[in-house]
Amino acid sequence: MSETPKPDAARPQAGQHWYVIRSKPRRERFVRDQLNGQGLEVFYPAVRVHPVNPRSAKERAYFPSYLFARLDLAAVGVNKLRWLPAAVGLLEFGGEPAIVPDALIEQLKLRVASIKSVGGVTFDGLQPGDVVKITSGPFSGYEAIFDLRLKGSERVRVLLEMLRRQVSVEIDAGSIRKARASEMQKPARRYR
């Protein structure tokens, strides 16, 4: 998460509201830096990810191509935001810029902070015993039971059922995701 507090950020000035700024793909940080350079309060919700490729970005936008800025639109001007390098413009409905309520921004900040506190998007809502799908590596396509995140590393321990036994396996955290209900295998029928 990346946000820039301003001295009076807790008390918005008259006429200031949160607006949604659209950016070109994967240019949210650049737009954030441009807006910060203009002295505006910006909220760029980003979450930690666990990519398989070690050279890939370790952080991604929670809302790709969107970020939020608190400003007085009459003072700043729509055209200044529309022609900002790497920006597409303001999110509008019916030709009017959409105002985002302060309460929604606070909820988003809390949500991003809670994802950050559990170690990133891979671990968001993931508890020991949850069914996960392995998405890459030698066990790709298999279902497993999430056991724990290994401290000090980007690895997790999962339990795989092999030969009617649960086997503990350590894999990259970026190689799992929570299984959807439609993907979960039906329990095997036992015949007598």
**Through-space distance between the first and last CA atoms of the chain, rounded to whole angstroms:** 55
Those residues whose C-beta lies under 8 Å from the C-beta of residue 96, and which sit 6 or more positions away, are none
The one-letter amino acid at 143: E
Classify burial at 46, counting beta carbons within 10 Å of its beta carbon; exposed 0-12, middle 13-18, buried 19 or more. buried
The string of pLDDT tens digits covering residues 10-32 is 455 668 999 999 999 999 999 99
Ranges of the chain with pLDDT below 50: 1, 4-10, 188-192
Those residues whose C-beta lies under 8 Å from the C-beta of residue 164, and which sit 6 or more positions away, are none
Residue with tokens 């994967």: 26
pLDDT value of residue 127: 82
pLDDT value of residue 30: 95
pLDDT value of residue 72: 94
Question: Dihedral sign, CA of 136, 125, 128, 58?
Answer: positive
pLDDT value of residue 140: 87
Percent of residues in the chain assigned helix, strand, coil, to nearest 5: 25, 35, 40
Q: How far apart are CA 49 and CA 130, in angstroms?
A: 19
Are 71 and 19 in contact by the 8 Å Cβ rule? The answer is: yes
pLDDT value of residue 10: 47
pTM: 0.63
Question: Dihedral sign, CA of 126, 130, 133, 135?
Answer: positive
Q: How far apart are CA 153 and CA 172, in angstroms?
A: 9
Classify burial at 52, counting beta carbons within 10 Å of its beta carbon; exposed 0-12, middle 13-18, buried 19 or more. middle
pLDDT value of residue 7: 43
Q: How far apart are CA 24 and CA 105, in angstroms?
A: 22
